[in-house]
Structure 1
Amino acid sequence: MQRRGFLASLAATTMAPRLGWADAGSPSYLAAAQTATGTYELHGLTQTGDSIFRLPLPARGHAATAHPSLPHAVAFARRPGTFALVIDCARGLELARLTPPQGRQLNGHGAFSADGSVLYTSEQVAETSEGRIGLWSVPGYRRLGEIPSHGTGPHEIRRLPMSDDLLVANGGIATDPTDRTKLNIDRMRPNLARVTPGGSLVSLAEPPEGMHQNSTRHLALLPDGNAACALQWEGDPAEAPPLLALWSEGALALCEPPLEEAFTMANYAGSIACNHATRQIAITSPKGGAVQVFGMDGVFQATHRRADVCGIAAASGGFVVTDGNGAISRLDADGLHPMKAHSVQWDNHLIALNAV
């Protein structure tokens, strides 16, 4: 009877339909938000800014990552984080709550392997800010181990196309483990590291000479296999250096806007996105209340103003942006066009589920 019961259970499991993102309403984007009552949520959004699901988070979220086939979203706490929540978006269920090992802190971002069997999480050693990448099994979401990020204070990590190698934005900033006080601004060393799944360093790219205080933060993948990086300047605020860099294997090239636009972003790029179809890259600044658009060659095109704008992702004909006042807007060659207003404060990132 036990054997028959086991076989029946196995047959039922194998015959059950495999859920995908269509079962979650086929969202185009994921975004974290704070509600008017002070609670926190993860939203699935359409191309036009409608929320098709909202699921509770235990605390403020930062970014999220989506499984390549299963309707699983991993929502990360704002760094230094103590949780990452794995949510079945089709069923509205919490599948797992990831807690970093003793002495580790989550840094707000993660990525899945190409086959979806491993989740990689951006982490650091709490006492030293030495970078680590946590490895978690899927779908069980059990800790497998960790590998070095080859830098200090890693932030966003992305899996490179047609590869399982990771590109890691090591921001270079060492922070106090409790209050995030920056400890090494005078000697920080940011980089972009290409790392194999086993932890080997393939290549390391640092900002040009004199730009060691330009912290590498967020990443967008380009269609040619290279990447773009959004930066945050930690040096003299009177200098206003470029906040966009283009990465190719082992090298970073800064993209300078016109002098009159240099101070618009208030030395802070909060998010980045690339539209493969329009061949554009955009960076946002909630501090400057602006979006800057560049060609894929790094040539500046335009600045668009929007208060507290930060989340951005590619959309048909341009980009979709979110802001801290609850608006979702479309950005195209004619400028910003508000689409929807929600009674929430959108957090830093808008995560696209499909490349455009």
Structure 2
Amino acid sequence: MMRRRCFLSALGASAALPQVSWAAAGNPEYLAAARHGTDRYMLHGLRADGSSAFIIDLPGRGHAAAAHPHRAEAVAIARRPGTFAFVIDCVSGAVISRLTAPEGRHFYGHGAFTADGATLLLTENDIASGAGRLSLWDVAAGYRRVAELPSGGIGPHEILRRPDGGFAIANGGIRTHPDTGREKLNLDTMAPNLTLLDADFRLERRVELPHALHQNSIRHLAARPDGQIALGLQWNGGNEAVPSVAVVLPDGELQLCEVPDALARRIEGYVGSIAYSGDGTLIAATAPRGNCLMLFDPATGDLAQVEPGIDICGVAATATGLIATQGDGTIRWLPGASRDTLQADLAWDNHLVAIR
């Protein structure tokens, strides 16, 4: 296994490479996949006002994207159990590199770059064992796969670079196999966890849910500058009303955010995305099955507000608030937005990824 400090020494020349900044791509703030019409898929770079700085064709449905921290490159990653990811020059629209999962692996739809932009990390499934893996791709070598690490659990979905340069991995706990599509194979023995790695990929902490919630898959993540992490959960048990959002404090303490039983059942225990507001005073959790977005107080975990939204799923921070995308083509600003935009014949997909 390659240690990060050795790995980075091999990449030392990458910082000297010429870079085309995000300004050259029209200064987009967000990346979002979308379906145009019935069968055309695109990646949008969205400005702060919701307009598209660029629109690039994708070969199939995207899930999330990873934005290079310094130069105008985005990695569009296939939805689970896809095996492809496309590195796109967001100025020219050209495909820089086509990444393929090795035989016996598939991607989970999410990725993240190291803070220096030298390495891309993608979440993967080792199909034979069910173990979660993180693959490392050398950017300077044309996004060549060079190493891998254990994710710390089964079914790693989102990976997030934390403000301190370390990483958070949402190990959802669900084992799947491409031969059975998206069928969940281990509901009785699920054991989701949040795994925290430092910037050198060393294990810092592993946080688990109470055993009574072991079927609550940890799927999506958001981080605040002070180290607090919000978890978006997806329930795989019966018809119980269970928490769908949790907070992990910097010391590792887990706090569950409660919602009224009627709302918990309305959203079917399913959170599609999660984000902190730009000022850090709210947590937004989208619930596309319940056609709403929930706002929580991160200090207390209390539900502060519920906003309606048709198939609302993508959400990210603005300078002080939040921006969200819906399956009907609407872009919304929250809370108390005075404007929404609607793009006809377009359906925004699962996630809205902040570039910076």
Q: TM-score, normalised by structure 2?
A: 0.90
- Counterpart contact for 2:196–2:203, Cα < 8 Å: yes
In the TM superposition, residue 320 of structure 1 has moved relative to its aligned partner by 1.2
Flag the 1:342–1:24 CA change in 2: closer, same or farther, 3 A.
Answer: farther
- Counterpart contact for 1:242–1:255, Cα < 8 Å: yes
- Counterpart contact for 1:293–1:301, Cα < 8 Å: yes
- Counterpart contact for 1:304–1:335, Cα < 8 Å: no
Amino acid at match of 1:234: N
Are residue 169 (structure 1) and residue 170 (structure 2) matched? yes
Amino acid at match of 2:324: V
- Counterpart contact for 1:135–1:143, Cα < 8 Å: yes
- Counterpart contact for 1:31–1:351, Cα < 8 Å: yes
In the TM superposition, residue 77 of structure 1 has moved relative to its aligned partner by 0.6
- 1:1-356 counterparts in 2 under 5 A? 18-139=19-140, 140-163=142-165, 165-178=166-179, 179-196=181-198, 199-237=201-239, 239-248=240-249, 249-277=251-279, 279-297=281-299, 298-332=301-335, 334=336, 337-354=339-356
- Counterpart contact for 1:330–1:339, Cα < 8 Å: no
Q: TM-score, normalised by structure 1?
A: 0.90
In the TM superposition, residue 347 of structure 1 has moved relative to its aligned partner by 0.5
Amino acid at match of 1:322: T
- Counterpart contact for 1:50–1:340, Cα < 8 Å: no
Amino acid at match of 1:64: A
Flag the 1:206–1:15 CA change in 2: closer, same or farther, 3 A.
Answer: closer
1:10 matched residue in structure 2: none
In the TM superposition, residue 17 of structure 1 has moved relative to its aligned partner by 6.4
In the TM superposition, residue 341 of structure 1 has moved relative to its aligned partner by 2.0
In the TM superposition, residue 314 of structure 1 has moved relative to its aligned partner by 1.2
- Aligned residue for 1:27, secondary structure, equals coil
In the TM superposition, residue 114 of structure 1 has moved relative to its aligned partner by 1.0
1:9 matched residue in structure 2: none
- Aligned residue for 2:289, secondary structure, equals coil
Q: Deviations over 1:133-173 (max 9, x none)?
A: 0000013100011000010000001122223x221000000
The structure number with the bigger radius of gyration is 1
- Counterpart contact for 1:331–1:337, Cα < 8 Å: no
Using the TM superposition, name which of 259-268 and 186-195 deviates more: 259-268
Amino acid at match of 2:247: L
- Counterpart contact for 1:128–1:174, Cα < 8 Å: no
Q: Which runs of 5+ in 1 are unaligned?
A: 1-13
- Aligned residue for 1:262, secondary structure, equals helix
Partner Cα separation in structure 1 for residue 236 and residue 221 of structure 2: 18
Amino acid at match of 1:301: A
In the TM superposition, residue 15 of structure 1 has moved relative to its aligned partner by 11
Corresponding pairs, count: 338
Using the TM superposition, name which of 102-111 and 309-318 deviates more: 309-318
- Counterpart contact for 1:149–1:195, Cα < 8 Å: no
Flag the 1:113–1:317 CA change in 2: closer, same or farther, 3 A.
Answer: closer
CA RMSD of aligned residues (A): 1.9
- Counterpart contact for 1:78–1:107, Cα < 8 Å: yes
Partner Cα separation in structure 2 for residue 337 and residue 127 of structure 1: 49
In the TM superposition, residue 196 of structure 1 has moved relative to its aligned partner by 4.3
In the TM superposition, residue 16 of structure 1 has moved relative to its aligned partner by 9.7
- Counterpart contact for 2:278–2:319, Cα < 8 Å: no
Amino acid at match of 2:354: A
Identity across the alignment (%): 46
Flag the 1:17–1:96 CA change in 2: closer, same or farther, 3 A.
Answer: closer
Flag the 1:277–1:53 CA change in 2: closer, same or farther, 3 A.
Answer: same
